[in-house]
Structure formats: C-alpha cells, structure tokens
Amino acid sequence: MSADLIEPILWAIGMALLAAVLFTGIGLISGTDETAIVAPLALLVILIGVPPAGVIAFFLAAIIAKHISHAVPTTLLGIPGDTTAVPMLREAQLLRSLGVPHIALQKAISGGVISVIIAIPLSILFALVLTPFAEAIGAAAPWIFIAAAILVAYTSKGKLAAVLALIPFVLIIVGLQAFILEQKDATFTTSFFLGIATGPLIYDLFSALSPAGRRSMTQTGKREFDLAPDVRPAGGTRLPNPFTVLDRQQLAYTSGSAVITSATFVFSPVAMAVLMGEIAGSRIKNGFHRLTTVVSVRNGTTESTYIAETLIPLIAIGLPLSPMAAGPAAPLFNAPPVYTLDAKTGETNNLHDLLSTGEFALFSVIAAVIAVAVAYPFVMRNAHRAATWVMKSVSHEAIIAGFAALICVICLYEGGLLALGVTITVGLVGGLFNRMIGMHAGVQFMGYYVAVLTVPAVLAL
C-alpha cells in the first residue's frame, strides 16, 4: 500500500465511525426522513472541507447504519422509522400482534446486513459496465433529466398533478436563479437543496403560524405510543449472526433481491422494496414464514437500493441520475464551491472525478464494515432500551430547533439573507406541493436539474 493512501484511509475510518454512531442514533427516531436528514448533514461535511475519502465513507456509513436502526421504531413502536421503512410496516405490525416483535427486528436488520455485503461489490461492477457509455449519457443529460423528472413525478403519489406541477416549480427556480445571478454574479445551489429537503418542515412551521392552518394541526392530547414488550429470550449474550438469523430460503430471497436491486438504480427505493417483497412473498406458501421473509427482503432492499443508487451514478457518470442521487446523495454530486456541476458544459468536479473506482471500492468497504459493526450489535442488544430512551427523553421541539438553526447557518454561509430567503421560498412552495399534491422531494430535486440543465438546453435550440 502506498503511503499516499494512509491519510485518506484514516479519514474514511474516522468519518465512517462518526456517521455510524450518529446515524444509528438518528435512525431510532421515527419519521426522520432520509432526504431531510442525510442530505443537509452530508452537505455540511463537504462544506467544512472533509476530503473525498471521508465524504463518501461518511455518506455510506450514514445510510447503512440508519437503515439498520430504522427497523427499531418500525418493529417496536409500529411507526415507520423513515420513508423506506414504510413498506415493511404491515408485516412488522402483524408479527408484533403475534407477540414476536423481536423476530421482526432481527429478520429486518439481518436482511439489511446481507444486502450491504452483496450490494457494494455488485454496484461497483455494474458501474464499470456502464462507464463506457458515460460520455454519451453526459451529452444527453439535459434530455435524460427531463425524462427522469417526468417519470419520477408520474410514479409519485401525485401522478399527473406532480408532472404538471413541475412547470411552476421549474419556473420558480429559473426565476430565482436569474435574480440571484443579477444580484450576486453567482448562483446558489445549497439553499435550493436545503429548501427542497426540508420543505415539509418549513411548510408545517408556516402552517402552525397561521390560525387557519393551525386548526388542522391541533392535537387533542399527547400522542400515545405503544411499545412492544421486551420478549427476547433471557440469557443470550452471544450476538446473533445475520447468516444464522435468516434461514436458507430467506438468505436466498434477500440475496436475490439485493442482486436485482443493485442493477435497477433508476427506480425508486420504496417502489423496489414493495416489489421485491411482493415477489418473494408470492413464492412462499406458509403464511408465518412469508411474514418473516418479506420483512428481511424489504429491509434488505432499502440498503441495496441506496448503495447502488449512490455508487453507480457516482462512479460511472458523475451526474445525479437516480432518485437517490437526486435526493439524499445530491450533495455528493453538486455542493459548490467544493463540488461543482457546470450546467452549461455538463462538466463535473465532484466525487466522480476526485476518486478512482478502486478508491471508491476501498472506502465503501471501510464504511460498510464500520457501519455494520456499530449498528448491528447495538440494535440487536439494545433496541428496546434505546427506543424507550428516545421516546421519553428526546423532544421533537429540540429536533426542530436544531434543524431550523442548521437551515439558517448553512444559508447565511452560502449567500447571506438572500440565500435564506431562497430556502424559505423553495421550502414553502416545495413543502406545499409535497403535502398537498404528493410531489415528493425526489421529484423536486429532478425539477431543480431540469431548471439548471434542461431549460438552458431548450433555450439554446
């Protein structure tokens, strides 16, 4: 090993460790949406100047750890840990009714670990297959983005409404960018991303401020949560091995789904989790066995889709051409002034250019090993205690306060009060579109790229 690699490896180890601990904790908090939480924190890591090795390791360790610990609120409290945990909620609930919530949790996180092991090498392999076509894909990017935006919008909850809402949304961004360029001789990126990612929060805060909006948000009492009893068999201090927690059929279905979803990097992770669960479930006759298998397959898919949808576009293309890359992983592609993506020439200067494929492989493996080594044993041993502590001690007000402050600080850093205004504008409009017509943040990120890539290309025709 050359001496030049030692420093990046140390960065990768350190940042992966930080992300693994941080996101194992964040995953325990229900409803912490990946885009809203992971994107701003990844952005932060990039902006404060962490080198590429640390950035990729931080990001991967974050999503891997989060998609292990998000199974805790999903299985023990019956509320989805985040967006991708929604598909396994029903099976988890049913297993909980049968009095075996711990088995749902163990199957889910073991499925996740197996998928991580499969998805990392396969994603890199698929990226290598795609690399020869990268130039052609890059040249066609403006048209690919508009096609992707329409497709992602149509497959969102908003269907046709989300497709049509792209028009005002894109125009708002184009208009804001033109004004910013006139005022500052530069364009903003971060404040747009932040607005899109935290849109639902910004919208809710506005709504809570308005007497009319507040009426629909009023709760009659404290929200009740019913924690499943801790029914694990006593005495077991040995850590269960993910390969023995799953039986052979479950291993086969989870691995098979991970292989398939490592290649289908252009589809939505939630849709793939639902689909893979259906396919595996339809092939298992016994009802009880179907429940446990579907939980492991679905949680496995949340890991493999996230890994593949980050690594494939990063390694092969350098443009954020997947729902994931245009969402939680967006800062890895474009986070000026550190990482840039030139709208006019399609030239990139981001992780794609800064790391070789071999380095991607190395740092991904480091991130995966550390994230699994931190999250898996912690969740296996302490799920019940940790869920209780989070629900009793971490107030939602504190989380909102942290994010509101984070939005202000990052915006002021990027472009002063104008950037803050941009985030509030994009956040309020985006949050409104999200809540009212089901146009989720992924569609809006695609809309951003349509505004900066496709619109200039259309005007140049």
Partner 1 sequence: MPQLLEVWNDTVDSKHLVGSIAIGIGVAVPAFLISDHFFTTTGDPELGHSYALLIGIVGCIVGAVISGILFKPKRVITESEADTRNRQEVIDEVVEEYGDLGDPRDLKPAVQEEIRALGLFDALVENHENRAKGAQL
Q: Which residues bind partner 1 (CB under 8 A)?
A: 30-31, 44, 47-49, 94, 97-100, 103, 200-201, 204-205, 208, 214, 217-229, 231, 233, 247-249, 285-291, 388, 391-402, 404-406, 408-410, 412-413
Phi, psi of 394 (to 5 degrees): -95, 110
> Which CB atom, from 76 or from 362, has the smaller least distance to partner 1?
76
> Which CB atom, from 157 or from 344, has the smaller least distance to partner 1?
157
Tokens of 401: 């306060």
Least Cβ distance, residue 249 to partner 1 (angstroms): 7
Least Cβ distance, residue 423 to partner 1 (angstroms): 13
> Which CB atom, from 286 or from 345, has the smaller least distance to partner 1?
286
Burial (Cβ within 10 Å: 0-12, 13-18, ≥19) of residue 115 = buried
Least Cβ distance, residue 75 to partner 1 (angstroms): 14
Q: Which of 5, 112, 189, 104 is nearest to 375 (CA)?
A: 112
Least Cβ distance, residue 348 to partner 1 (angstroms): 21
Least Cβ distance, residue 301 to partner 1 (angstroms): 20
The residue assigned the tokens 């009659």 is 220
Q: To 10 degrees, the CA torsion angle through 153, 422, 52, 400?
A: -90
> Which CB atom, from 290 or from 381, has the smaller least distance to partner 1?
290
Least Cβ distance, residue 246 to partner 1 (angstroms): 10
> Which CB atom, from 198 or from 334, has the smaller least distance to partner 1?
198
* Interatomic CA distance for residues 73 and 27, integer angstroms: 8
* Interatomic CA distance for residues 180 and 452, integer angstroms: 13
Least Cβ distance, residue 431 to partner 1 (angstroms): 10
Sign of the alpha-carbon torsion through 299, 300, 305, 311? positive
For the beta carbon of residue 284, count every other beta carbon within 10 angstroms: 17
Q: Which of 439, 446, 155 is nearest to 321 (CA)?
A: 446
> Which CB atom, from 107 or from 352, has the smaller least distance to partner 1?
107
Instruction: Give residues with Cβ within 8 angstroms of 270, minimum separation 6.
Output: 83, 84, 86, 87
Phi, psi of 284 (to 5 degrees): -115, 120
> Which CB atom, from 121 or from 416, has the smaller least distance to partner 1?
416
